[in-house]
Amino acid sequence: MNRRSKRLVAAMLAALALSTVMFGGASAGSEFSAVRQATAKYHSLAVAARDGYGAFPVGVPLHECIANLHGPGAMGFHWLNPANLGPTLDPTKPQVLVYAPDADGTIHLAALEYVIFQADWFSDPSHAGTMPMLFGHELMVGDNARFQIPPFFALHVWLYQNNPTDMFASWNPNVTCAGGAASAGGVTTARAGLIAPARATADKNRFVCGIGATA
């Protein structure tokens, strides 16, 4: 192969590599674009409530602003939509919306959380020995003991607040629960549906959600 041919081959390979990177980026961007299009409306608590999301009731661990017990950062308040729980994951239908409190107690949409119960995942024999995945990332094993719910897998996606650690990390060092006490009243009075703890029976309705009227 002469020098000209080598240069031509090198140029073609470089172009191929660039197009692959661009295509991959466009693909990932398109995926998140669809997710943003489906979830950006949940900056409004009233809209989230109308679509079936609700805060956990007082006295349940997940009612509180969730802070990291072992390091810096926090998650925030979790609003669950029980209708989205099941054996499959849809990127445009997160099971949980995560709201972070500001210093004055105002809460804002910060992340989406995808949740699937281990019992649901492993009900499919082909899933034995595997982990559920979204956006090229495996879901993590959730802390079911702390939150008093059945064993589950979960993945946070910090789509609406920058996470300097990782977009898919559980904890965000930019989130604090310092304003959480002031937020709790607002979360409760939003009348967004109270979600009961997991039932003792192993039925599919692990959560009971009654959605109240919202303005």
pLDDT at 209: 30
Has residue 215 been placed in a domain? no
Residues 24 and 80 in one domain: no
Pair 61, 21 in one domain: no
Number of domains the chain is built from? 2
pLDDT in tens, 21-70: 222 333 446 779 999 999 999 999 999 999 999 998 888 888 899 999 88
pLDDT value for 180: 60
pLDDT of residue 196: 33
Residues 35 and 129 in one domain: no
Asked whether residue 27 falls in the same domain as residue 51, the answer is no
**Residues 56, 36 share a domain:** no
Joined together, the tokens standing for residue 16 give 């191929």
Is the pTM of the predicted complex or chain greater than 0.85? no
One domain, residues 33 and 137? no
Same structural domain, 167 and 178:
yes
Examine the domain organization and report whether 33 and 120 are in the same domain. no
Whether residue 35 is found in the same domain as residue 139: no
With helix as H, strand as E and coil as C, how does 113-153 read?
Answer: EEEEEHHHHCCCHHHCCCCCEECCEECEECCHHHHCCCCEE
Is 143 domain-assigned? yes
Q: Is position 17 within any domain?
A: yes
Whether residues 142 and 125 share a domain: the answer is yes
Is residue 78 in a domain? yes
Highest mean pLDDT among 5-9, 141-145, 178-182: 141-145
Residue 213 CA to residue 96 CA, distance in Å, equals: 20
For residue range 198-207, list pLDDT tens digits in order: 322 233 333 3
Q: What is the pLDDT of residues 140-164, one digit of tens each?
A: 999 888 888 899 999 999 999 999 9
| Same domain assignment for residues 11 and 69 | no
Statement to judge: residues 89 and 163 lie in one domain:
yes
Structural domain span for residue 34: 3-40
